[in-house]
A and B are shown apart, each in its own frame.
Chain A
Amino acid sequence: DSGVTQTPKHLITATGQRVTLRCSPRSGDLSVYWYQQSLDQGLQFLIQYYNGEERAKGNILERFSAQQFPDLHSELNLSSLELGDSALYFCASSALPDGNQPQHFGDGTRLSIL
């Protein structure tokens, strides 16, 4: 068990809808990362937060947004969903925003768009 909790585990919705994925980092970790894993794109970094502030941004679509709250949990919001957004979304956390600590991953949220 990595200590990173993601909810829900599975999400099924329709095109055009909006969903929110939630992540609780490991106790003591201040930085949270979001990744998307799909068959055609592989594992892609979306966005990173540290202590409530955005730290780095990757290949995140404008329809997607995220935030980190004062209690350090994070939410990834996906809107105007398209079939191609179907993927496994992972959250990871680390103690510090950079440096040499490994990132610890949750078990992911599987998003299916019908």
Chain B
Amino acid sequence: AQSVAQPEDQVNVAEGNPLTVKCTYSVSGNPYLFWYVQYPNRGLQFLLKYITGDNLVKGSYGFEAEFNKSQTSFHLKKPSALVSDSALYFCAVRDGGAGNMLTFGGGTRLMVKP
């Protein structure tokens, strides 16, 4: 079975500073990894994915993520945080079975303060 861990319930960062939201995963085969963001009273919004190729993946709204196979990590990053980035962030790994089922981490709340 696959699993995802987001070790921080909350990350606080000042506006303009770089941000990192951590994610580690466990899968039996090759991982397909995703980051989603959830704003209050809304569904999850796709940010970026890693399937294969370059370890640094660029996504929406200036976010990027770094895949590290040896550390089984897929941390989300942004060079300069905005107050509007404050939201709940979910890391997910795709199941290698017949479907496209996603297993999600517990989520990390990002608070960007002005």
Contact = CB atoms under 8 A, between A and B. Distances in A.
Given A42-B107, A43-B90, A43-B104, A102 B46 contact: yes
B43 A90 contact: yes
A56 B90 contact: no
Interface string A38-67: 000011110010100001101000000000
Nearest to B96: A98
B99 A90 contact: no
Nearest to A45: B101
Interface of B: 32, 34, 36, 41-46, 49, 51, 90, 95, 97-107
Contacts, number: 66
B99 A48 contact: yes
A17 interface: no
Nearest to A4: B43
Contacts of B51: 100
Interface of A: 2, 4, 31, 33, 42-45, 48, 50, 55-56, 58, 90, 92, 94, 96-108
Contacts of A103: 46, 100, 102
A45 B97 CA distance: 14
Given A42-B106, A43-B90, A100-B51, A105 B45 contact: yes
Given A43-B90, A100-B32, A56 B101 contact: yes
Contact of A33 (B34, B100, B103): B100
